Amino acid sequence: MIRTVGSTIAVSVFLWCFAAGGRGQSQQAYKMLQLFEWVGNHYVDTVNLSRLSERMIRKTLQELDPHSVYVSRDEVRTMNERLEGSFEGIGMSCDWLNDTALVVSTVSGGPAEKTGIRRGDRIVVIDGDTVAGKNLKMEHIIKRIRGKKGTKVRLAIFRKGGGELLQFTVTRDRIPDFSVNAAYRVSGKTGYIRLNRFAASSHREFTEALQKLRKEGVVDIILDLTGNGGGYVDMAVQLADEFFDKGRLIVYTEGRNSGRVNYTSLAGGDFRKGKLVVMINENSASASEIFAGAIQDWDRGMIVGRRSFGKGLVQRQMLFADSSALRLTIARYHTPTGRVIQKPYGDGGEYEKEIRNRLQSGELTGETAVKINDSLQFKTLVKGRTVYGGGGIIPDVFVPLDTSYYTDYYKKLLERNILEWFILEYVDKNRSALERKYPDFSKFERDFRVSDAMPDDLRRFALQKGIDGKPEEAERSRERLQVRMKAYIALCLWSDNEFYRIINRQEPIFLKALEVIADLQQNR
């Protein structure tokens, strides 16, 4: 018997390898099992075999491809929650402000809102334990507040203008985690929908958003997939289903040990006629690329932005006995014309640096630097336009990355959440006045102006946090920061939807998408 700490993973993986491999592979797997047995039985010190086997599994998978990975039990749970489109808790978002957890937003109709918790409340005590004024991480607060549906959490909250702490007992429930960030009518017959990932609820969320926009007179859609890292492939297929007649090939997979599998549209979608523009960038990956590739190959809409990430490998999840998992690549995704979505990968760690290399080569800032492989030309299936393979989806209309405002100062403000903290404090001090002056978003959008002094106040605030922005850098980023400040204030007062209504005003890909869809509308 192996005398070790936590040997479940090691035994599981080696038994799996032994059963799955051929004779030679089984012999090697048996050698590894012997190794772990000898180490467990004879090594001079106690061995944590679970930790040792996890390291070995991760190292082994690194030799295969960038997306075959080992996922711990906690990571599996977190990923599943995000893709399931819901979690169990009380439905509110918090952030740290001066050593106190500040309620930034509550889910409409969620337990926190129903109980009476509001934006701007400060959480002081959780289940009898004081959490304010302590050097805690936000993960600790989230862990204390979340829990199984039907259980209760007791919160003591400080509210500005009040006296004693307010006491709330909140019953946890299933909370939706929306994948549609924003959906609004831009102007005329044009609507905008932003999808941040392809979760289990994405198709339902999209169709609900589309129905709402149609009631407002929207006929044509700009679908924003910038920064969308993917998710469930079935959701990408279902979403594409809305734009095609029955029987259209959306994507197919093929691998050495798995035959070709076709994914086709199953029924005529509800959005087969309207004009469509899809926004993508270098961080749009996987399911986003499947969707964009199908739209492009069938000439169903126009793709605007920059070449997508290039993640087109199919993973199958295999669970170990301890609920951790192995996600093993078994096939590649192909667009309807046969293009392979996956970009090349190899040794030397260049895969992880590839986006940075695009910036350095000028691909992100200049269309002429986009790498096109002439040997991988394909023709779209309706109009016969030339499109290219070689990794990722190359857009029909290129939009360069705007780096004019992007300084080291601006980067640090965002990466370290300094700008967000600054706005949290600003709204915290001025919430009552803001809510009186701007009772609805339309008035705020029309009348609110970020003062010339606020960027200077931000610079002083950043200096207190250890960021010394040079005057020329602060001035170069000023206009961009002012728009972003207004967007963050809108987020604090309302929701993501209002945030994107502000921020899109200076987003080059969105502005180009507006031009493209206007051209399509003229040729209707």
Q: Which residues are catalytic?
A: 286, 297, 311
DSSP 93: E
Q: Which residues of 64-84 are buried (b: 16+ CB within 10 A; e: fewer)?
A: ebbbbbbbeeeebeeeebebe
Rounded CA-CA distance 315/64 in Å is 12
Rounded CA-CA distance 522/511 in Å is 17
3-state secondary structure of 343: coil
Q: Which residues of 277-298 are buried (b: 16+ CB within 10 A; e: fewer)?
A: bbbbbbebbbbbbbbbbbbbbb
3-state secondary structure of 435: helix
Rounded CA-CA distance 251/58 in Å is 30
- The four Cα atoms 388, 334, 205, 304 give a dihedral, to 10 degrees, of 0
Q: By the 8 A CB rule, do 327 and 71 touch?
A: yes
Q: Which residues of 391-403 are buried (b: 16+ CB within 10 A; e: fewer)?
A: bbbbbbbbbbbee
Q: By the 8 A CB rule, do 291 and 367 touch?
A: no
Rounded CA-CA distance 179/206 in Å is 9
Q: By the 8 A CB rule, do 222 and 517 touch?
A: yes
**DSSP-derived secondary structure for 105-154:** EE-TTSHHHHHT--TT-EEEEETTEE-TTS---HHHHHHHH---TT-EEE
Which residue in this structure is represented by tokens 């005003």? Answer: 505
DSSP 390: S
Rounded CA-CA distance 425/489 in Å is 10
130: which strand partners? 125
DSSP 189: T
